[in-house]
Amino acid sequence: MNRLKRRAWAQLAAVSIMALIAVPGFLYLFARDVGGIDYLIFGLITGIPAGLFIYRRKNRKAQQYDERERFLLGQAFYYGTGAFVLFFLIASFAAFFLVGGQGSVPVIFLPLMLFIGLFIAKGIESLILLRLAREDHE
Amino acid sequence: MSKDLLTNTIRRLRFDAGEMTQQDLADRVGVTRQTILAMEQNKYVPSLALAIRVARVFNKQVEEVFQLEEHP
């Protein structure tokens, strides 16, 4: 397995673990109808380790990738970002069309939309990277 | 829109150079073996810097290693 594949699998695993922790936690807090600060604390508890993990990996590996690998990473990031924008557009317009211009949505909808979008973006990025790295065989 | 194709003779040059392996060439130009493989299969177009480094390994001009097939 080449290092791009390893990176893609590690990223996919990190996103999956984050989702497994964040989704039930988020739903639990929502069900208890806690204040915004509790969400923030929960977000920091789950988000900071993930952020540090990704930052550390990126720093450690940045010098090792050659130009083609950096190109493939860029391609994967491009598609991930595209998926994020697409999801954000669909979610925004879905809310608009469902409740109308004068309607209202719960405030929780905003961070939820952002985090689901980020999960989708990273998931798509990992899958695209896996696909691109799959061609690395002789 | 033109669909130009950049081909190369790296594979032949490697064998002419004492059956140099992809890994040997990769080490000498500072990339991974997969990148050499992708270049040989015309799946990756290298940067100008990498193209020059590859040409230098074989003591050739860049255009002796890389050829542009123009398809207007």
Interface residue of B34, B39, B40, B48 to substitute, partner A, most A CBs within 10 Å? B34
pLDDT digit string (tens) for A14-55?
888 888 888 788 788 778 777 777 777 777 777 777 777 767
Query: What is the pLDDT of chain B when averaged over all its residues?
Result: 92
Report, as an integer, the average pLDDT of B18-41: 93
**What is the pLDDT at residue A60?**
65
Of A69, A71, A138, the CB nearest to B37: A138
Size of the A and B interface in Cβ pairs below 8 Å: 28
Q: What angle do CA A91, A97, A102 make, to 5 degrees?
A: 110
Residues of A within 8 A of B22 (CB-CB) are 138
**Nearest-CA distance A4 → chain B (Å):** 11
H or E stretch including B69?
Answer: strand B66-69
**pTM given for the model:** 0.79
ipTM of the complex: 0.83
